[in-house]
Structure 1
Amino acid sequence: MRVLVALVALVAVAVAAAGPARADPSPDDGRLDWPLRPRPAVVRTFDAPTPKWQRGHRGVDLAATAGQPVYAAQAGTVVFAGDLAGRPLVSIAHPGGLRTSYEPVSPSVRSGQLVHTGTVVGEVVAGHAGCARAACLHWGAMWGPASRADYVDPLGLLAGTPVRLLPLRP
């Protein structure tokens, strides 16, 4: 019971500190924007492995076309742009410890470059393994250092995803 009371108090403090709710959250409030325009279909969903070193799908695959521009989902610093294990990839570090990755993407940015939300970071390359279409963008999100990263579903971090507290059941 004490834990529940403490949790409710923490949520109340966080809500009060955040100020009034906005009707439509934007990427400026820490949420992500879609990396493709228009909003793409999700071809394959996030499937976190348990434990985290086992097989799984550590991101989402979005329907795309070869040559389609890929946009930074949030402002940050490009930490990698090039080939990794034979696949072209872009990775961006965002404030607060979040990193997003985009593959297969032929980069138009370089490591160390600052990007804003919506900056074109490259183009989709056809042939993503495991994709049911001719071209897909594999979009990943992770918290923490690369060696101990906790992968999260990027769809849950989108600006258009409402956050709701569910009632507790006795």
Structure 2
Amino acid sequence: MSLETARAQAVSLEGAPGKAISLEAAQAPTVSLETAQAPTVPWALALMADPALPPPVVAEPGADRSLTTRQPRLSWPLSPVPVIIKYFDAPDTPFGPGHRGVDLAAAPGQDVLAADAGVVVFAGSVGGRPVLSVDHDGGLRTTYEPVVPKVAVGEQVYRGQVLGTVLAGHPGCTVAACLHWGVRRGEEYIDPLALTGEVGEYRLKPWGGGR
């Protein structure tokens, strides 16, 4: 076979279906950047299907993704969110002076709401003022005063349920009525605002624990 004949046969085989092709033609196909995008995630499909849906909450790169959906440990006991009349001031000792909760501006007769699901463990008078206490998961106990109760000891309550109504006459209140809201974990008093995601008021104390 002549050299010209061999070349002609090779050319015909390259273009014939099912035949061997050159190495250059057998390379993997090139994929453009436009077609190499990441696969569409389910929420993106939902948005394309219904543009009226709100966009999802997407965490910034490197951020704690649980923060985007985390619910505050406790909800506010008054609605709407009240003005804070007096902030939490942790005592230096278990029986020392301080303010073991926060005072929230309210209207006489305003509904008091359970800060979380739990069980009513106290509904009675302390120092001549009506007080309600509710135990919650995690060893937390919330206390509300002065409150005319609408629930009884042993009753299970849900988050946001009406526990009673605010009674005017809380000592030191500078408005028509104040709800004193306290939180304990065991014997330790905790700033309720820290559990709602609100920033409390912090006061620096002298070295040695003096006031």
Q: List 4+ stretches of structure 1 deviating above 6 A.
A: none
Please report how far the alpha carbon of residue 22 of structure 1 lies from its aligned counterpart in structure 2 after TM superposition. Answer: 4.1
Cα distance in 1 for residues equivalent to 2:167 and 2:69: 32
Which residue identity lines up with residue 96 of structure 2 in the other structure?
Q
Task: State the secondary structure of the residue aligned to 1:21.
Answer: helix
TM-score with structure 2 setting the length = 0.62
Superposed CA deviations along residues 7-55 of structure 1, whole A, max 9, x for unmatched, are xxxxxxxxxxxx941424325xxx0000000000000000011023111
1:25 aligns with 2:67: no
Matched, 1:156 2:198: no
Q: Is the 8 A contact 1:82 1:106 kept in 2?
A: no
Q: Does 1:45 align with 2:87?
A: yes
- Give the number of aligned pairs: 136
Residue 56 of structure 1 is matched in structure 2 by: 98
Unaligned runs of 5+ in 2: 1-63, 200-211
The percent identity for this pair of structures is 54
Aligned twin of 2:148: 106
Cα distance, 1:150 vs structure 2:
0.6
Q: Deviations over 1:35-79 (max 9, x none)?
A: 000000000000011023111100000000000000000000000
SS at match of 1:117: coil
- Contact 1:98–1:143 (Cα < 8 Å) also in 2: yes
Q: Match for 1:63: what amino acid? A: A
Rg larger in structure: 2
1:123-161 Cα offsets, whole Å, 9 max, x none, are 0000100111120000000011xxxx1101000001x44
* Correspondences of 1:82-101 after superposition (within 5 Å): 82-101=124-143
Question: Letter of the aligned partner of 1:45 in structure 2?
Answer: Y
Question: Which moved further from structure 2: 83-92 or 67-76?
Answer: 83-92
User: What residue number does 2:6 align with?
Assistant: none
SS in 2 for 1:121: strand
SS in 2 for 1:101: strand
> Structure 1: which 5+ residue stretches go unaligned?
1-18, 163-170
Q: CA RMSD in A?
A: 1.5
With over 3 angstroms needed to count, the CA separation of the structure-2 counterparts of 1:61 and 1:161, relative to structure 1, is closer
